[in-house]
């Protein structure tokens, strides 16, 4: 009995875990398991990059395995030993059909179920396609390997999607932090504005209070003097009434005159002035102005000076060195770097936003459609151009990490064009004019500028 068990154990050790037969041309993987060389290569057929051990699934980089000559000799020796009992042992260990207790040697391709030979006679599988287990395993193993490439691609796509989502999440968090910083900056600016307004109103009220105090003191003096006069006259009349007739009538005229000419001091009449505290329009009107009157502008490349490069979406103008002998359209600016919008306005209210990045001087505003573009004369309201010049170092790292942003509000009906600094919500300047004809948005960059870019932006400040 001990000898039989030892032989069975020896057969098991010299058997391939894949084909369950004695090892042929055995190879050993990095994890220490042994297989027939042909069985292992068949199991790895169609795989790329990852080659798992069929037993422990540990990766075998680049199909790494080594020939085992000693185990090969041992397997040859085991083949010479009695193997019937070992085969019976393996057969006894194989799974059996629960209904018929026979070996599961067939596979139903329709129900994807293992069957024994007796199962094929049942009504459930009588007309189903049945194939041997080995053939079915080869077919389904090939089919499963066909899933590997699309699954790998889907995994890569999912990982990229996750990476993009994480990046988007970081971007959203960053945008939220920037917005919080903007709101904090705006609140601080608002606090400073309120403090300044409070100090002004407090100063006016204190001056008014002092004036009222001086007036009260003056009135008190007048009332006191009037009381003294009344006391003197009362004493004089009382005294005269007790005198003789001749003495009374001698001074009666002066007494009557004094009495008739008495005037009581006017009472204090003062109404405290009500100081009206009004917020500037940038604190209650800018957002409403933007939401109600925001327009979508584009730059007209045909009007651009040859030193301005207009982006493909016609939203950005970048200053660049002038190219010599460059032919430009007749409607383009020729004297200095400027460009107009494609859209024009002759009625209504309109608001647009512009941001600047770079250095040196630039201008923005509105001009008449007929504004001369070849004249060396500086733009001004007298020749049909209403603009403000922005002379500053406009860097990419401004307050809160944002570029300088400005807003232009055109009210054609009222005849006004106003400019706002949207970084601090401040009003810069307003032109008042009777506009006639169509007006175009105007943008200009001074020739001394370097690396300056101006862009029409769509999002609300």
Give pLDDT tens digits for 335-344: 888 999 999 9
In angstroms, the first-to-last Cα distance of the chain is: 91
Q: For 414-443, what is the mean pLDDT?
A: 89
Question: Under a CB-based contact definition with an 8 Å cutoff, are residues 371 and 333 in contact?
Answer: no
300 contacts: CB under 8 Å, gap ≥ 6:
314, 339, 340, 341, 342
CA dist 98 and 110 (Å) reads: 20
CA dist 337 and 139 (Å) reads: 73
Residue 280, pLDDT score: 55
Residues linked to residue 96 through DSSP beta bridges, in sequence order: 103
Q: Residue 323 pLDDT > 80, yes or no?
A: no
Residues linked to residue 52 through DSSP beta bridges, in sequence order: 59
List, for residues 211-221, the tens digit of each pLDDT value: 888 888 988 99
Residue 284, pLDDT score: 55
List, for residues 123-139, the tens digit of each pLDDT value: 888 788 998 988 898 89
Rounded alpha-carbon distances, angstroms, from residue 405 to 190, 200, 388, 456: 19, 30, 14, 10
SS3 351: strand
Selected residue with higher pLDDT from 416 and 76:
416
Rounded alpha-carbon distances, angstroms, from residue 411 to 56, 384, 408, 431: 78, 16, 10, 10
Q: Residue 142 pLDDT > 90, yes or no?
A: no
Residue 322, pLDDT score: 65
Among 167-176, 193-202, 327-336, 412-421, the least confident range: 327-336
Q: Residue 225 pLDDT > 70, yes or no?
A: yes
Selected residue with higher pLDDT from 9 and 325:
9
Question: Under a CB-based contact definition with an 8 Å cutoff, are residues 97 and 33 in contact?
Answer: no
Q: Residue 89 pLDDT > 90, yes or no?
A: no
pLDDT band at 365 (very low <50, low <70, confident <90, very high): very high
- Taking the model in full, what pTM does it have? 0.42
pLDDT band at 84 (very low <50, low <70, confident <90, very high): very low
Selected residue with higher pLDDT from 243 and 163:
163
pLDDT band at 11 (very low <50, low <70, confident <90, very high): confident
In degrees, rounded to 5, the angle at the alpha carbon of residue 48 between the alpha carbons of residues 45 and 54 is: 55
List, for residues 396-412, the tens digit of each pLDDT value: 444 434 577 889 999 99
Question: Is the dihedral angle over the CA atoms 325, 328, 331, 336 positive or is it negative?
Answer: negative
CA dist 454 and 105 (Å) reads: 78
Place of tokens 């699309």: 150
List, for residues 264-321, the tens digit of each pLDDT value: 888 877 776 665 555 555 555 677 778 788 888 899 999 998 888 888 888 888 887 6
CA dist 152 and 295 (Å) reads: 48
List, for residues 26-43, the tens digit of each pLDDT value: 999 888 889 998 888 888
CA dist 182 and 313 (Å) reads: 28
Question: Under a CB-based contact definition with an 8 Å cutoff, are residues 294 and 460 in contact?
Answer: yes
216 CB neighbour count, 10 Å cutoff = 12
CA dist 6 and 219 (Å) reads: 132
pLDDT band at 325 (very low <50, low <70, confident <90, very high): low
* CA nearest to 271, candidates 347, 215, 348: 215
Q: Residue 241 pLDDT > 60, yes or no?
A: yes
Among 3-7, 57-61, 104-108, 194-198, the range with the most confident prediction by mean pLDDT is 104-108
* Angle (deg, nearest 10), helices 133-241 and 252-260: 170
Rg (CA), the chain: 51
* Angle (deg, nearest 10), helices 84-93 and 2-13: 70
């Amino acid at each position: 009995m001990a000898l039989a068990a030892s032989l069975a154990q020896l057969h098991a050790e010299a058997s391939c875990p894949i084909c369950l037969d004695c090892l042929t041309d055995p190879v050993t993987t990095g994890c220490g398991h042994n297989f027939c060389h042909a069985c292992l290569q068949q199991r790895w057929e169609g795989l790329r990059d990852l080659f798992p051990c069929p037993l422990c699934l540990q990766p075998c980089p680049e199909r790494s395995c080594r020939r085992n000559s000693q185990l090969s000799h041992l397997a040859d020796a085991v083949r010479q030993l009695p193997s019937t009992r070992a085969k019976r042992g393996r057969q006894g260990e194989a799974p059996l059909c629960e209904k018929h207790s026979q070996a599961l040697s067939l596979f139903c391709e329709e129900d994807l179920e293992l069957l024994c030979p007796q199962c094929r006679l049942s009504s459930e599988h009588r007309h189903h396609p049945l194939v041997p287990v080995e053939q079915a395993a080869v077919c389904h193993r090939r089919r499963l390997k066909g899933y590997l490439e699309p699954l790998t691609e889907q995994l890569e796509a999912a990982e990229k999607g996750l990476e993009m989502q994480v990046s988007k999440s970081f971007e959203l968090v960053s945008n939220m932090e920037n917005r919080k910083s903007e709101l904090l900056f705006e609140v601080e600016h608002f606090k400073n504005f309120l403090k300044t307004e409070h100090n002004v109103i407090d100063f006016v009220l204190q001056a008014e209070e002092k004036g009222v105090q001086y007036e009260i003191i003056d009135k008190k003096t007048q009332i006191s003097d009037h009381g003294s006069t009344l006391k003197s006259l009362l004493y004089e009349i009382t005294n005269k009434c007790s005198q003789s007739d001749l003495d009374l009538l001698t001074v009666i005229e002066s007494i009557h005159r004094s009495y008739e000419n008495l005037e009581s001091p006017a009472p204090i009449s003062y109404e405290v002035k009500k100081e009206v505290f009004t917020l500037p329009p940038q604190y209650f009107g800018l957002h409403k102005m933007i939401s109600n009157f925001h327009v979508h502008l584009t730059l007209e490349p045909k009007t651009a000076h040859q030193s301005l490069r207009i982006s493909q979406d016609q939203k950005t103008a970048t200053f660049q060195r002038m190219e010599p002998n460059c032919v430009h359209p007749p409607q383009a600016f020729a004297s200095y770097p400027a460009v107009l919008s494609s859209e024009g306005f002759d009625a209504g209210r309109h608001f647009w936003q512009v941001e600047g990045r770079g250095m040196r001087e630039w201008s923005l505003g509105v001009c008449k459609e007929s504004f001369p573009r070849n004249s060396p004369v500086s733009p001004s309201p007298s020749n049909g151009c209403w603009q403000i010049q922005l002379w500053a170092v406009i860097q990419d790292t401004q307050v809160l990490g944002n570029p300088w942003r400005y807003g232009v509000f055109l009210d054609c009906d009222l005849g006004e064009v106003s400019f706002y600094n949207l970084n601090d919500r401040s009003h810069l300047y307003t032109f008042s004019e009777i506009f006639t004809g169509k007006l175009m948005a105007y943008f200009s960059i001074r020739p001394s500028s370097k690396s300056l870019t101006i862009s029409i932006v769509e999002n609300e400040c």
